Amino acid sequence: MKNKSKFFGIIAIIAAIGFSMTACGQSNDPAPAPAPAPAPDPGPQQPVGPNVSGNWTMGDNRLNFVNGFWYRFYGAAMYMNGTFSISGNNITIVHTHTGGSAVANVQQTGIVSATAQTLTLTIGAPFGGWTGTWQRQQQ
């Protein structure tokens, strides 16, 4: 009986070694490429086109463009705001609020150009009052 136990013990060890070698078999396939790391979130994007960021004045009117939002002031009071986007020299203005109250999203596309000191807009109704050359307001 003692010999049978040794015999089955040796067979069990050989089987365990054989199965483990089979399970860990070698493959000629290359290891899979690691997944690419996700791109970091760049945060708010500046428009593609002329740099219009900042404060601009024309008479008593002031426009402020910042991170895709615009604000229009008359004197010291803000009376309109919304969003904007620029592609090349085309600007799209979306009017979302007047005097703090939401309005239907009114959208208008126009032409924009900017230098370090001037912003030139050509926009039709209802933003016709924006057409002209605005001067950069010094900080």
Tens-digit pLDDT profile for residues 6-47: 666 676 677 666 666 665 555 566 666 666 666 555 444 444
- The closest alpha carbon to 95, from 120, 116, 70, belongs to 70
* Residue 135: band (very low, low, confident or very high) from pLDDT cuts 50, 70, 90: very high
Q: Work out the angle at residue 67's Cα, subtended by the Cα atoms of residues 63 and 68, and round it to the nearest 5 degrees.
A: 75
Query: Can you tell me the distance from the alpha carbon of 6 to that of 13, in angstroms, rounded to the nearest whole number?
Result: 11
Q: Mean pLDDT over residues 48-64, rounded?
A: 84
- The closest alpha carbon to 134, from 111, 118, 122, belongs to 118
Tens-digit pLDDT profile for residues 117-131: 998 998 877 777 788
Q: What is the pLDDT of residue 133?
A: 92
Q: Mean pLDDT over residues 1-8, rounded?
A: 67
Which two structure tokens, joined as six digits, stand for 47? 């428009």
Query: Can you tell me the distance from the alpha carbon of 56 to that of 84, in angstroms, rounded to the nearest whole number?
Result: 15
Query: Can you tell me the distance from the alpha carbon of 103 to that of 82, in angstroms, rounded to the nearest whole number?
Result: 10
Q: What is the pLDDT of residue 56?
A: 92
Query: Can you tell me the distance from the alpha carbon of 39 to that of 91, in angstroms, rounded to the nearest whole number?
Result: 28
Tens-digit pLDDT profile for residues 65-107: 998 999 988 888 888 889 999 888 899 988 888 877 878 788 8
Q: Which residue has the tokens 């690691």?
A: 34
User: H or E segment at 71?
Assistant: strand 69-74
